[in-house]
């Protein structure tokens, strides 16, 4: 059985004081949850203080992005060493907003994935198609290429997570039906089996991301190949994120 992972991606939201208030209330509210992994990925400015609050709890800390170099003349960037130093264990890479707003391509994202793994961070590689790509029948082609090129050069021993995010469902209120999401998740697992072998493919967690809410998480998590959620807007409020974390309980 793959252990569920519920991850909150706060994107560019919450000041440090807002993050601290959320974290203290949230840690108390989920302290009895032991059968799934809980992850919060705040803005860089809140990482250090949340790392201290989450230390010794069942809530893990992750970052929303990173550069692949350890240090150097990369103004505005954050290195894997810096993330490790403040307590991060996960890092989101290749999010659709990084791809489509900031122009990151598969090769650039692959360098980050390899760097994350080599520094002991667990990358969450995001893949997903645009609305026009889905309507053109190119979903499998697009996500398959993103997966293969994003994981290129990785050994089967590497610890990584995949997140399927249909771009047309992020922040739009639209959600892929559980059946539609499952179809893509199944394809991704088959693709992982081609790349790394069936045994590895069965162990990799594949999350769904795209307007996940308390109202739809149960249906999504009932699917065989959906192993968790990458939650955006609904992870910004303690009440709604606690409900998502507690799906099925």
Say which residues have a Cβ less than 8 Å from residue 185's Cβ, sequence separation at least 6: 164, 206, 208, 223, 225, 226
Q: Is 165 a catalytic residue?
A: yes
**CA–CA dist 154, 243 (Å, integer):** 35
Distance set, CA 216 to CA 184, 220, 247, 249 (Å): 17, 7, 10, 15
Q: Is the separation of the CB atoms in 26 and 57 below 8 Å?
A: no
Active-site residue identified among 97, 104, 129, 165 = 165
Q: Is 100 a catalytic residue?
A: no
Q: How many Cβ atoms from other residues are within 10 Å of residue 172's Cβ? A: 12
Active-site residue identified among 95, 97, 182, 185 = 95
Computed on alpha carbons and rounded to an integer, the radius of gyration of the chain in Å comes to 17
**CA–CA dist 117, 113 (Å, integer):** 6
Q: How many Cβ atoms from other residues are within 10 Å of residue 46's Cβ? A: 25
Cβ burial 191-200 (10 Å sphere, 16+ → b, else e): bbeeebeeee
Token pair for 118? 């080599």
Report the catalytic residues.
95, 165
């Amino acid at each position: 059985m793959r252990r569920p992972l519920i991850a909150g991606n706060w994107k560019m939201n919450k000041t440090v004081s807002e993050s601290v208030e959320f974290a203290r209330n949230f840690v108390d509210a989920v302290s009895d949850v032991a059968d799934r992994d809980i992850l919060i990925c705040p803005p860089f400015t809140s990482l250090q203080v949340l790392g201290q609050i989450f230390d010794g709890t069942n809530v893990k800390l992750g970052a929303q992005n990173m550069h692949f170099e350890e240090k150097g003349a990369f103004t505005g960037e954050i290195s894997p060493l810096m993330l490790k130093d403040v307590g991060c264990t996960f890092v989101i890479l290749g999010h659709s907003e990084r791809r489509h707003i900031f122009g990151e391509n598969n090769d650039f994202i692959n360098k980050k994935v390899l760097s994350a793994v080599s520094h002991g961070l667990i990358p969450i590689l995001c893949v997903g198609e645009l609305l026009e790509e889905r309507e053109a029948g190119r979903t499998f082609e697009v996500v398959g290429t993103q997966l293969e090129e994003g994981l290129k050069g990785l050994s089967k021993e590497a610890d990584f997570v995949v997140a399927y995010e249909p771009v047309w469902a992020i922040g739009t209120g639209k959600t892929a039906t559980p059946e539609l999401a499952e179809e893509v998740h199944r394809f991704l697992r088959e693709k992982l089996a081609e790349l790394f072998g069936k045994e590895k493919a069965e162990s990799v967690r594949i999350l769904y991301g795209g307007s996940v809410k308390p109202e739809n998480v149960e249906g999504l998590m009932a699917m065989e190949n959906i192993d968790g959620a990458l939650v955006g807007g609904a992870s910004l409020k303690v009440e709604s994120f606690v409900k998502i974390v507690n799906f099925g309980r």
